[in-house]
């Protein structure tokens, strides 16, 4: 079975520190309660954003878990070349503007049409950051929704942490939906956006 895996630079496992060698099979010491080889289905990608993205091959029984899959045996096949720093930034920006869109829609629904319009206007990150800084947050739930757009824009401007924007947009979606399942829904949407973009040929 083919799946995906995010690793640290040099094909290093982000949690185990294990140094993967492309093509070499790795057997899990004990495939029991999470000690197997972990990988992502396409829908899981946004949960595990890392610096390198690899295609992996898994063998043997595959356990399907909520946000990852696990197998007794796996090996790295090849690097997904389209996933680089530039792609990561693009993904981060996508999530920032997703948080913005979710917030604007919520504000419109709450009767804050002017605020929603102002928020929806900016097309670049610097413009969005300037806009959110200039707005006095309303009270209550409207303020909370605005805050997600603000926090996503400000945080990404400062640190460029795409995984963080992904998180903020997902929480914003759960808030807008009024349902915790909105978090996973947004994550999966992001994952599919990512997969589509990575499958696209070089522009």
Partner 1 sequence: MVEQAALARTISEDQRVLAALRVGDEQAFLVLVQRLHPSMLHVALAFVPSRAVAEEVVQEAWLGVLKGLAQFEGRSSLRRWIFGILSNCARTRGAREARSVPLSSLGAEDDSEPAVDPSRFRPPDHSHWPGHWSSPPTPWPEEQLLRREAVEAVERAVQDLPPGQRAVITLRDIQGCESAEVCDVLGISEGNQRVLLHRARSKVRAHLEQRLQGEKPR
Partner 2 sequence: MTLRAPEQMTCREFVELVTDYLEGALSLEDRTRFEHHLVFCTWCVDYLQQMRDTLRAAGRLRESDVPENAKEKLLRAFRQWKRGIP
Residues that bind partner 2 (CB under 8 A): 14-15, 33-34, 47-50, 65-68, 159, 161, 163-164, 166-167, 170-171, 174-175, 180, 182-183
Tell me how far, at minimum, the Cβ of 70 lies from partner 1, in Å. Answer: 23
Q: 140 or 201: whose CB is closer to partner 1?
A: 140
Question: What distance in Å separates the CA atoms of residue 163 and residue 99, rounded to the nearest whole number?
Answer: 13
Contact positions toward partner 1, by CB under 8 A? 143-144, 147-148, 151
Q: What share of the chain is helix, strand, coil (3-state, %, to 5)?
A: 50, 20, 30
Question: What distance in Å separates the CA atoms of residue 7 and residue 123, rounded to the nearest whole number?
Answer: 32
* Overall residue count recorded for the chain in this entry: 203
Q: 125 or 155: whose CB is closer to partner 2?
A: 155
Q: 40 or 171: whose CB is closer to partner 1?
A: 171
Residue 34 interaction partner, one of partner 2, partner 1, none, beta carbon < 5-8 Å per kind: partner 2
Q: 3 or 99: whose CB is closer to partner 1?
A: 99
Residue 43 interaction partner, one of partner 2, partner 1, none, beta carbon < 5-8 Å per kind: none
- Exposure string over 97-134, b if 16+ CB within 10 A, otherwise e: bbbbbbbbebbbebebeebbebbbebeebeebbebbee
Residue 48 interaction partner, one of partner 1, partner 2, none, beta carbon < 5-8 Å per kind: partner 2
Tell me how far, at minimum, the Cβ of 39 lies from partner 2, in Å. Answer: 13
Residue 174 interaction partner, one of partner 1, partner 2, none, beta carbon < 5-8 Å per kind: partner 2
Q: To the nearest 10°, report the CA torsion of 151, 104, 42, 156.
A: -20
Residue 29 interaction partner, one of partner 2, partner 1, none, beta carbon < 5-8 Å per kind: none
Residue 142 interaction partner, one of partner 1, partner 2, none, beta carbon < 5-8 Å per kind: none
Q: 139 or 202: whose CB is closer to partner 1?
A: 139
Q: 29 or 203: whose CB is closer to partner 1?
A: 29
DSSP calls for 107-166:
HHHTT-HHHHHHHH---SHHHHHHHHHHPPPPSHHHHHHHHHHHHHHHHHHHH--HHHHH
Three-state secondary-structure class, residue 102 = helix
């Amino acid at each position: 079975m083919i799946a995906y895996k995010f690793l640290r630079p040099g094909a290093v496992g982000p949690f185990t520190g294990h140094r993967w060698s492309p093509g070499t099979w790795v057997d899990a010491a004990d495939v029991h309660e999470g000690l197997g080889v972990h990988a992502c289905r396409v829908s899981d990608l946004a949960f595990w954003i890392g610096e390198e993205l690899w295609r992996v091959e898994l063998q043997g029984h595959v356990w399907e878990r909520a946000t990852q899959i696990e197998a007794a045996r796996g090996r790295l096949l090849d690097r997904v070349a389209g996933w680089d720093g530039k792609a990561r930034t693009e993904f981060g920006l996508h999530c920032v503007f997703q948080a913005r869109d979710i917030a604007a829609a919520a504000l419109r629904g709450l009767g804050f049409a002017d605020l929603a319009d102002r928020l929806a206007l900016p097309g670049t990150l610097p413009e969005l950051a300037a806009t959110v800084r200039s707005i006095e947050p309303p009270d209550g739930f409207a303020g909370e929704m605005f805050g997600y757009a603000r926090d996503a824009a400000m945080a990404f401007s400062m640190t460029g942490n795409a995984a963080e924007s992904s998180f903020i947009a997902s929480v914003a979606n759960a808030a807008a939906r009024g349902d915790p399942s909105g978090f996973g829904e947004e994550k999966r949407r992001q994952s599919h956006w990512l997969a589509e973009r990575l499958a696209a040929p070089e522009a």
